[in-house]
Structure 1
Amino acid sequence: MASEAAAGIGGRLVGPDVEFDGASFDTRSIQPGQLFVPIVAERNGHDFIGAAYDSGAALHLSSEPDPFRRDHTAIEVNDTADALMRLAGWARQRSSARVVGVTGSVGKTSTKDLIAAACAASLRTTANERSFNNEQGLPITMLNAPDDTEVLVLEMGMRGFGQITELCEIARPEIGVVTTVGHSHTEMVGGIEGVARAKAELVAALPASGVAILNADDERVAAMARNTGASVLTFGTTGDVRISELTLDQLARPRFRLDTPWGDSRVELELSGEHMAMNAAAAIAVAGSLGVELDAAVAALSTATISGMRMEMTELPSGAIVVDDTYNANPTSMAAALDALVAMSATRRFAILGLMGELDDPGEGHRDVARKAEALGVQLVATGTELYGVRPTDDPVGQIGELGAGDVVLVKASRSAGLERVVAQLLG
């Protein structure tokens, strides 16, 4: 009820008490019966309250006078964004779901998706949509989780110190997964050691009864065992959940053996990239920790899909293959994508690459990627930046020319570069 929510967050109920189910800050996706949260940012969400009611909103938060209080229900708060976080914390107190937090410089969204798939083999599971991993998306995920959710998988992003701690204060995870520490958002935290410190906030927030699931192959992640009183479970080519006998098929899809505390199994993924094996190992570690049978979890992973724009492959009518990895990029994920490109069966390999943002040393980061592409025999086509050391083009598709069977094109950059438009052009 609205009155319970208002009391839970210290707000003031204005208008009749009503029931609501879930929340949204986006009038384009709000569902009937939900709470509308007008975020005040570049645009003032209060300007869209009417549109929210047109779409069936049951009530709204408000931090400034608005005319809709006269005929609808509002919860008056000082700050709507802060109230959204507190509302999610209130919902967490009422939930019996076991919460899994996932963070890392590379692979956290794919790992989140695979964890959700593995756990859903036997447990009612909810996870963030796409990359809803910040102080707006994460609480919305929590508020929209069905009441009968048994496992809530929450990806946690960061662009500075203290942000993961804030997310953990409302989510209260009992399992924390750290995938990797790499050169992502280094500009915000003073380099890669700052990234490690920021990511370790998840591990530090775990209760003593919890489990920290750490990448044994990443020394900065493995060292986070010192940051927690929780039990530690490791994964990787060494560790408690161990990958061996790894091979890749013609589309760079991993096939490997997995030895775990719950038995061993062969795993075959429909996802491309050697790094997906690590993500799958992390997922099995979580599922096993939650009591999901190994065979059921592995079977679920064999058909699992992940969020779009992440190593998403499309075969063109000509027989060429386009690899859409445009959601985000940093030097670590660029290296993994290039390795996957080279592992694919092809006669020509192109990489259309754009800007990698928020690096503490952008020049060196881009040059490292260019050197790797050259060493692997990949034809690098830069667009939107000169940092790769090659002349950029405004028409990368035209520069590549006609594509046919045996050609593979990787498209990748930070989200701000918007290279999905290049993918759309390639797909025609």
Structure 2
Amino acid sequence: MIVYHGAYRLKQVKKQHTILFLKQNIVDWERLKKFFPLVLVTQLPFRPNEQLVDLTVIQVKDTDEAYWRFVHDYRNLFQIPVVAITGTSGKTTTKEMIRHILSADKIIAYTNSSNNSRTAHLEYLLSINDETEAAVFETAVGAPGDVLNAGKYFKPNIGIITNIGAHHLNYCKTLEGYIHAKGEMCAALEQKGVLIINADDQNSRKLDLTNYNGRILKVGIYSSCNFKACDINFCKDGMQFTVQHEQKEYPMFVPGVGEHQVYNALAAIAAAFEMGIDLPETANRLKTFQNLKKHLQVFEGINGSTVLDDTWSMTTTSLEAALKVLKEVGQGKKKVAIVGTITDLGSWGYIIHEQAGELISQIGVDVLITIGEHARIMADYAVKTGLNSQVYTFNNSILVLNLLKKIVDENTIVLIKGDMYSKPLIELAVKLRKKN
């Protein structure tokens, strides 16, 4: 039989033609029969059963060893460019930009949306086949070792670190530990290949690259780098800018507003260039990119207001980017920021929320509304550090809509900032849109 899917847990078996690596006995065969034909790889003794038609059993000495041999052997079948992307924010957008650029004339394997957990790596690896010409995968950091683990599967030859903020400190413990975890990309590249980093990002400059023997490409706006953006302008539905590369200039447009979107585009442009797509062709393809939903998505809101829905992810890095967009596109208007809690911070929760409050104070808004007990820390610290604006704090979103109906009008722009797990903020974002 031909194998199309892989699994190492029973609950991962969801389709026929799956190879299952398992170290436990299977009790309920009836549940699995609908997924036959199936291959079972096991180190346990197995008794043949005439009722188990279309089951192939491969007995091995060590299931774990067999699993990793399978992974390595399968990946080594394909000599194609593979891009791996990590970073605190911008991973999914950068991945989608690269996919969009490459898909114009290539067959691409890629991460589905932002589903980048380690349990999905095997399935993504097996999505590569004889027709695949390139692959681009998002590799998140929930804990130390995550990027290394992804590297074992994908063996990338191009790695991207979009930026490094402060996130997942519940497992990485410290910012230095988090930076080190992101720096595992060098080992994932097996100390060779091409590493693309943000030259303007303060924490990316702290990466230990002394033992990295591959090439490094730097992208940025303010620093000296290989791909530099200048003449940046906000325009309708996106950003116009010029890329300077090897003493030549190339005009670009990317859908999606914000300086951070330019950084995302620069990383995508550099990766595409490494895969043989010149900058004029990349510019032509990039302008048809569709910005992702809930990534500073612009809507007409209640009472004629403008709503920026940024309820995809929530870190201090993405909060800073969103506030800068609010300030830029909200010039001459009342600027309202609705901000939720930052998660996955562990014992750093109080400090990071204070840092978020200081960011709000520095960038400035006319009205600040926080939702959640931890988000209240932001509001308190924003006031403490000099924010002289209207500030409202709520434990939940029930009363927020009534407040907004009273204070927003056609001269108001509203940013709603949370993450994909914050159901109350997502629901509020929907209610803020003007109904057809």
* TM-score scaled by length of structure 1: 0.81
8 Å contact from structure 1 (residues 384, 417) kept in 2: no
Q: Which runs of 5+ in 2 are unaligned?
A: 381-391
Q: 1:262 and 1:24 mapped to 2: Cα distance?
A: 49
- Are positions 1:383 and 2:340 aligned together? no
Residue-by-residue CA offset, 1:169-207 (whole Å, 9 max, x unaligned) = 121111111111111112321222111111111123324
**Structure-1 residue corresponding to 2:386:** none
Q: Distance in 1 between matches of 2:51 and 2:300?
A: 53
Q: 1:243 aligns with which of 223, 226, 229?
A: 229
Deviations 1:194-234 (A, max 9, x none): 11111111123324551111111124324544241101111
In the alignment, is residue 362 of structure 1 matched against residue 310 of structure 2? no
Matches within 5 A, 1:250-399: 253-261=238-246, 263-316=248-301, 319-345=304-330, 347-359=333-345, 360-375=347-362, 376-385=364-373, 386-388=376-378, 389=380, 391-394=393-396, 395=398, 396-399=400-403
* Cα deviation 1:369-410 (Å, max 9, x = unaligned): 233334412422211223323532422222322554343322
Q: Distance in 1 between matches of 2:148 and 2:112?
A: 21
In the TM superposition, 1:21-420 aligns within 5 A as: 21-22=4-5, 33-35=16-18, 50=31, 58-59=37-38, 70-73=52-55, 88-207=71-190, 209-224=192-207, 225-237=209-221, 238=223, 239-249=225-235, 253-261=238-246, 263-316=248-301, 319-345=304-330, 347-359=333-345, 360-375=347-362, 376-385=364-373, 386-388=376-378, 389=380, 391-394=393-396, 395=398, 396-401=400-405, 403-418=408-423, 419-420=425-426
Q: Percent of counterpart pairs with the same letter?
A: 23
SS at match of 1:160: coil
Aligned mates of 2:119, 2:304 — CA distance in 1: 41
Cα deviation, residue 60, structure 1: 6.5
Report if the CA contact (8 A) 1:38-1:49 is conserved: no
Q: Confirm or deny that 1:424 pairs with 2:414.
A: no
Please tell me whether the aligned partners of residues 22 and 40 of structure 2 are also in contact (alpha carbons under 8 angstroms). no
Shift of the 85–353 alpha-carbon distance from structure 1 to 2, 3 Å rule, reads farther
Distance 1:80 1:223 in 2: 39
Q: CA deviation at 1:162?
A: 1.6
Answer yes or no: is the 8 Å Cα contact 2:191–2:211 preserved in 1: no
- Name the count of aligned residue pairs: 404
C-alpha distance 80-74 of structure 1, shift in aligned 2 (>3 A): farther
In structure 1, C-alpha distance between the alignment counterparts of 2:197 and 2:93, rounded to whole Å:
16
Query: Residue type matched to 2:254 in 1?
Result: L
Q: Is the 8 A contact 1:313 1:324 kept in 2?
A: yes
Q: Is the 8 A contact 1:38 1:46 kept in 2?
A: no
Give the direction of change, closer, same or farther, for the CA distance of 1:83–1:322 in structure 2 (3 Å limit): farther
| Superposed CA offset, 1:241-267 (max 9, x none) | 01111121266x321110123942111
1:90 Cα deviation after fit: 4.0
Instruction: For 1:259 and 1:57, locate their aligned partners in 2 and report how far apart those are by CA, in whole Å.
Output: 55
How big is each residue's C-alpha offset from its partner over 1:291-341, in whole Å with a ceiling of 9 and x where there is no partner? 112111111111112443322333347543332222221111111111112
What's the offset of the Cα at 1:277?
0.2
Q: Which runs of 5+ in 1 are unaligned?
A: 1-17
> Aligned in 2, Cα 1:76/1:185: closer, same or farther, shift over 3 Å?
farther
Structure 2 CA distance for partners of 1:351 and 1:76, relative to 1, 3 Å: farther
CA distance in 2, matches of 1:364, 1:58: 53
- Compare CA radii of gyration and give the structure with the larger one: 2
